Amino acid sequence: MFIKQLYTGCLSEAAYYIDSDGEAAIIDPLRDIDAYLQLAKERNATIKYIFETHFHADFVSGHLDLSKATGAPIVYGPRTATNFPIHLAKDGETFRLGGSTIEVLHTPGHTIESTCYLVRSADGEPHAIFTGDTLFVGDVGRPDLSSGNLNKEELAGLLYDSLRSKIMPLPDNVIVYPAHGPGSSCGKNLGPNTYSTIADEKEGNYALKEQTKEEFIKAVTDGLDAPPTYFQINARINKEGYESLDEVLKLGLTSLDVPAFQQLTKDDNTIVLDTRKADLFTQGFIPGSISIGLDGRFAEWAGSLLPFDKSILLVTTPGEEKESVVRLARVGFSKIIGYLEGGFDAWQQAGKPIDMIIDVEADELAMDIPFDDNLLVVDVRREAEFADGHIKGALNLPLNDLIDPGSMANLDEHYNIYVHCGGGYRSIIAASLLKRQGIHNLRNVAGGWSKIKDQKGIEIEKENSVLN
């Protein structure tokens, strides 16, 4: 038996390829399926099954395109209802894969249809379990994303039962392969690794400690941040279906010269998205464009901040057009209508208007604070990050909140605004959004909190009430 984890860092997502004696299965595929087809070809295997652990909320699955390309059935666990053909598996049902078997374990809790898949080796012994969002390294799936009509407390109760009846009784040496790793919003605080064992999770996972159901429900529901806004959209797409990625690419990879591109920008229902690195964006960009760089958690922030009902025009580093479209498609964007041929350089060389963002170092901020009564620091980190330490008097406007123009009500042009985040990625996104709202008197603090926190002359405070 051969198992390969295919991990996508910007989404903290793990898909899996399994094969045995020339037969392969894919678990939780991403929308772009070439990697799975290529791996099967290299290993001279035929993809026989596509297993889905649940309706994913944080990305669009590749189940439909992969099934069309291979003829393999899409397998979901009990209590699943879709708008396309699937094999609706029964709890305990087994699927033969070469000399191995894959057993269905219905584990409701993260969602009502959540299902794990237990792989047994040729001798029938449990070898590995693919837990989806039911069990992570050091955490469990959040119970507030139900595809049914249960509340988070009811789902958490089901999750308690699922873990204790289906997963914890497994042998300690069984490998745990979850659908997500650190940074995912599908749990509260995932551990640093992307796989584990039953023994390690019993030892180190708070959710598997000895506790009552009531204690468990409180532990997994307390302190949940609001899920990203696009989660509900992606879950619906995965349930109802979508157009093929080839169609999205065909439209998105339309090359537009400067006049054609500029003409399309005049439509109020069109957004210009710049996917270049932040340090390039600050030096010059098309006025009104939004910066979300491919070098960070691109798809997650695009899904959280961009509207799905508007058309998107791309400005990329030449050669990164396809990657930009694919990564947008992974979180459900399909209205990408083209890219600027030649990138920003073509725009600038055509003599078109440009905008810039001024970068300043942390020491410059430290020098300006005592002498500028109109200086306002805008910290766009999450509330918990802000609470753990921030510049005294700073205004906390988490990046997620900047999709609402009302969140900027406290800002106007008479302030000298200094924007920062943790390391510099989010603050450039924030600065581009502020500029779209007509707020131009701003500077980006390069390096963000990582540089500010050790800077002499800057007074730091904490919000203990939030931390506690």
Output the pLDDT for position 466: 46
Domain boundaries, the chain: 2-232, 243-349, 358-467
DSSP 15: E
Give yes or no for residue 467 having a pLDDT over 50: no
Binning pLDDT at 50, 70 and 90, where does residue 225 land?
confident
- In the numeric block, which tokens belong to residue 237? 């797409």
Name the residue type at position 86.
I
In sequence order, the β-bridge partners of residue 46 are 23
**Mean predicted lDDT score pLDDT of the chain:** 95
CATH code reported for the domain at 243-349: 3.40.250.10
Q: What pLDDT digit, counting tens, does each position of 17-30 carry?
A: 999 999 999 999 99
Give 49's contacts (C-beta < 8 A, 6+ positions apart).
25, 26, 72, 73, 75, 95, 97, 102
Helix, coil or strand: residue 110: coil
Question: In residues, how long is the chain?
Answer: 468
Helix, coil or strand: residue 211: coil
Choose among 174, 95, 172: nearest CA to 129: 174
Q: Which residue has the tokens 């510099």?
A: 424
Give 140's contacts (C-beta < 8 A, 6+ positions apart).
109, 110, 134, 159, 163, 187, 205, 207, 220
Helix, coil or strand: residue 446: coil
CATH of 358-467, one of 3.90.1150.10, 3.40.50.2000, 3.40.250.10, 3.40.47.40: 3.40.250.10
Q: What pLDDT digit, counting tens, does each position of 276-319 carry?
A: 999 999 999 999 999 999 999 999 999 999 999 999 999 999 99
Output the pLDDT for position 407: 65
DSSP 166: I
Q: What pLDDT digit, counting tens, does each position of 333-368 carry?
A: 999 999 999 999 999 999 999 999 999 999 999 999
In what order do the strands lie in the sheet containing 94-97?
94-97, 100-106, 115-120, 126-132, 175-178, 196-197
Q: What pLDDT digit, counting tens, does each position of 380-403 carry?
A: 999 989 999 999 999 999 999 887
Please indicate whether the domains covering 243-349 and 358-467 agree at the CATH topology level. yes
**CATH 3.40.50.970: does it fit domain 2-232?**
no
Output the pLDDT for position 468: 43
Residue 391: Cβ within 10 Å count: 23
Alpha carbons within 13 A on the beta-carbon side of 6: 19
Give yes or no for residue 420 having a pLDDT over 80: yes
Output the pLDDT for position 461: 94
CA distance 86 to 304: 30
Q: Which residue has the tokens 């905008």?
A: 355
Binning pLDDT at 50, 70 and 90, where does residue 147 land?
low
**Rounded mean pLDDT, 187-193:** 92
Q: What pLDDT digit, counting tens, does each position of 88-113 carry?
A: 999 999 999 999 999 999 999 999 99
Output the pLDDT for position 149: 85
Output the pLDDT for position 268: 93
Which ranges of 139-188 would DSSP assign to H, the alpha helix?
152-162
Cβ distance 102 to 150 under 8 Å?
no
Output the pLDDT for position 146: 72
Helix, coil or strand: residue 100: strand
